[in-house]
Amino acid sequence: MIQLNDFKRMWQECSADVLDAVARVGASGWYILGEEVSLFEKQLAERVGGQNVVGCASGLDAIELALRAMELPRGARVLTTPLSAFATTLAIIRAGGTPCFVDVDDTGAIDLEAADLFFAANRDCRWFIPVHLYGHPLNCNALEALKRKYALFIVEDCAQSIGADYERIPVGGVAQCSAFSFYPTKNLGAIGDGGAVATADSKLAARLRALRDYGQSAKYVHSELGLNSRLDELQAAIMRQAFLPRLDRWTARRRAIAQRYCEAFAASGIKHAAPSHGAQSVWHLFPLLTGGPAKRDALAAHLKQRGIMSGVHYPVIIPKQRALLSIGIDAIPALPSAQRFADCELSIPIHPYLSDDEVGEVISAVEDWSRS
């Protein structure tokens, strides 16, 4: 089977480094918030643009911690995208905010022009969580302009987009805080859960460090009500030694595969969501756009029969999730573009351990289906 993610091949290549990292942490006798976490935070800060990085337990927590450190007022409205992992919206609610939505554009990411209209019409709303979806960076110049025009507080959700940039502005480079996830399927994944917040503001970083650790500003001094959301020494050591040094190579491989897909599908007229002009995507996913739910299911079944796994990102738009019925959210505007993605999107394998032959197999399987 050609998997969406091939952790077994990854283990074959990386296990010596991983086991070395595990042995080092085990022998150190220090398992929570020690040297490994702080070294990983420093290296990640260099990687994502010279900021402060604060490790935490997940991408969900990273967004919640960022909103709380930035003092999101209770009940404040936060604009976000209807097409993302549910965690983006859940973090807003957990931080005490109220999510609002505008539609996505044809890249699948939140439509920044619609966001502009929203903020113009809702001057009391100053909070924004855009998502760099599928690894495709949003237009960071447009994001920066929005931030200035409406004096916004922004948390960029970079869970799918580590290393991506828009005209040399790295993702996370506009907002006060940006959130990363190390869930195993992400471009930089741990062997378990993990997350991080990056910020250029060292006061916010200090606040985040307290908030992730019960709100402790010094040992047994609780200045505010925090969480238990710490990144493990083990995960930090594994990522620093085994995975972070491979990230550039993995990203290059994802880009090479994307280029082959894009060229083949352009020639055969197969539709997919592409990054906007000026965007250097890291291709977390490769989203095909089929003709509708029945066609998508048929393509997924056809691929499976040819030994190729696929996924849907995401089958239900967030404002339609049942969990949101229990909280009072604003009347949901029409979101036809997000709904189209929910109905038509199918992700094909694009992980860095795909062989050239397997990429060819995926291309011919998709092309055979489109001709039939």
Residue 60 is a binding residue for ligand PLP (CB under 6 A): yes
State which of residues 99, 163, 195, 352 lies at the interface with ligand PLP (CB under 6 A): 195
Residues 162, 250 contacting (CB under 8 angstroms): no
CB 284, min distance to ligand PLP, A: 8
CB 120, min distance to ligand PLP, A: 26
Residue 281 is a binding residue for ligand PLP (CB under 6 A): no
CB 96, min distance to ligand PLP, A: 18
Comparing CB distances to ligand PLP, the nearer of 60 and 204 is 60
| Rounded-to-integer distance, Cα 366 and Cα 202, Å | 49
Torsion of CA 38, 40, 43, 47, to 10 degrees: -130
Comparing CB distances to ligand PLP, the nearer of 85 and 239 is 85
Residue 58 is a binding residue for ligand PLP (CB under 6 A): yes
Instruction: Indicate the DSSP class of residue 243.
Output: I
Number of residues that bind ligand PLP (CB under 6 A): 15
Residue 273 is a binding residue for ligand PLP (CB under 6 A): no
CB 180, min distance to ligand PLP, A: 9
User: Which segment (84-92, 214-222, 258-266, 347-355) binds ligand PLP by CB under 6 A?
Assistant: 84-92
Classify burial at 79, counting beta carbons within 10 Å of its beta carbon; exposed 0-12, middle 13-18, buried 19 or more.
buried
User: CA dist 358 to 280, 345, 365, Å?
Assistant: 24, 21, 10
CB 6, min distance to ligand PLP, A: 18
**In the structure encoding, which two tokens stand for residue 270, read together?**
């197969």
| Rounded-to-integer distance, Cα 338 and Cα 294, Å | 17
CB 48, min distance to ligand PLP, A: 16
Residue 138 is a binding residue for ligand PLP (CB under 6 A): no
| Rounded-to-integer distance, Cα 14 and Cα 354, Å | 16
DSSP E strands in 98-220: the ranges are 98-101, 127-129, 153-157, 165-166, 169-170, 177-181, 195-199, 216-218
- Coil/strand/helix, residue 250: helix
**In the structure encoding, which two tokens stand for residue 230, read together?**
């710490």
Comparing CB distances to ligand PLP, the nearer of 84 and 347 is 84
Residue 51 is a binding residue for ligand PLP (CB under 6 A): no
Residue whose CB is nearest to ligand PLP in the complex, by number: 59
Comparing CB distances to ligand PLP, the nearer of 155 and 359 is 155
- Coil/strand/helix, residue 54: strand
> Phi and psi of 192, rounded to 5°?
145, -160
Map residues 147-186 to x or -, x wherever contact with ligand PLP holds by CB under 6 A: ----------x-xx--------------------x-x---
Residue 87 is a binding residue for ligand PLP (CB under 6 A): yes
Which residues make up the interface to ligand PLP (CB under 6 A)?
A: 58-60, 84-85, 87-88, 131, 157, 159-160, 181, 183, 193, 195
